[in-house]
Amino acid sequence: MQIYFPLRLAEANDIPYHRWQSVRIAAFLTMSYFMVLHLLDSGRQLYPLKCLEIFLAIYTPVLVFFTYRAAAPAHEYLIAGFFGVVVIILHISSKDRVKKYFQKKP
């Protein structure tokens, strides 16, 4: 039994091909991005939240591409839209001016 987003059980049928293919390609592109970033600027530190934001920012257009290529139903694009909104929220929440609110004041 497999559970995939948005909380669907895949007992008799498989997970749609375009979904797992997009996760695989997005993971490869994200690792490539971090390798290039390390080669160009090895002293830069990233928060884990920023890493998640980068993965989802790459995953969203890859998912749209593979969903379009697979001629999937229109409701499949809502999943990419959901992740797009999550990327925007993560981007806003990981800015430096937001982090200053949570630091101790002198």
Q: Could you read off the pLDDT of 57-89 as tens digits, one per residue?
A: 999 999 999 999 888 888 888 888 989 999 999
Q: Is residue 90 part of a domain?
A: yes
**Mind listing the pLDDT tens digit for each residue in 25-48?**
999 999 999 899 888 876 777 778
Q: Is residue 32 part of a domain?
A: yes
Q: Is residue 62 part of a domain?
A: yes
Q: Is residue 84 part of a domain?
A: yes
Q: Is residue 12 part of a domain?
A: no
pTM attached to this predicted model: 0.77
Task: Give 9's strand partners.
Answer: 3
What's the total number of domains in the chain?
1
- Specify the 3-state DSSP secondary structure of 67: helix
Domain carrying residue 55: 17-102
pLDDT at 13 over 80: no
Q: Is residue 6 part of a domain?
A: no
**Whether the Cβ atoms of residue 64 and residue 77 lie closer than 8 Å to each other:** yes
pLDDT at 104 over 70: no
Q: Is residue 35 part of a domain?
A: yes
Other beta carbons within 10 Å of 27 = 14
Maximal CA-CA distance, the chain: 60
Dist. CA 67–CA 49, nearest whole Å: 26
- Whose structure tokens read 């690792």? 31
